[in-house]
Amino acid sequence: MDQIIIREELLDFAREQEKKLQKHDREKGESYKYKETTSFRYLEDKIDEEYDEYIRAGRIVICLPTYSKFKFIDEEQKVNDPEQVIWLFKRKQEELVDLANMCMMMHWRLENEIKKIKERQKEKLGHD
């Protein structure tokens, strides 16, 4: 198998995801791994919720070519204060991390279910 080199941007993003997960470890731990506490429907609803939160964080059009003026489509206002722009971008980044974590949890659960199905298929073939 070819070695996969992970991009620095992906590592940075994964670090942000892990920081957020660890922040909630004491309260929630790895509850997403257990269907008794976290159903597929729950995870799908959380993915929808996190996406909505990302969108509500403000849609942005960057006015080219200077990048010095930003227009928040939702609020129909121009923002010229760089601190406001940085605050908004950081808020959007946080929502993206939340969304990605929900997607990771769902991915893990689906992969785990695929493994279980394959194991059952193997067992069934072994017994025939």
How far apart, in whole angstroms, are the C-alpha atoms of residue 100 and residue 19?
A: 13
What's the gap between Cα 68 and its chain centre? 29
- Domain ranges for the chain: 8-127
pLDDT of residue 68: 53
pLDDT of residue 109: 92
Question: Is the previous residue joined to 82 through a cis bond, with omega within 30 degrees of 0?
Answer: no
Per-residue pLDDT of the chain (128 residues; tens, 9 = 90+): 689 999 999 999 999 999 999 998 888 888 878 777 778 898 999 999 999 998 887 666 554 444 555 555 544 456 666 777 788 888 889 999 999 999 999 999 999 999 999 999 999 888 65
Token pair recorded at residue 64: 């080219």
Q: Is 2 exposed, middle or buried (0-12, 13-18, 19+ CB in 10 A)?
A: exposed
pLDDT of residue 65: 42
How far apart, in whole angstroms, are the C-alpha atoms of residue 35 and residue 116?
A: 13
Specify the pairing of strand 60-63 against strand 69-72.
Answer: antiparallel
pTM, rounded to two decimals = 0.78
pLDDT of residue 94: 94
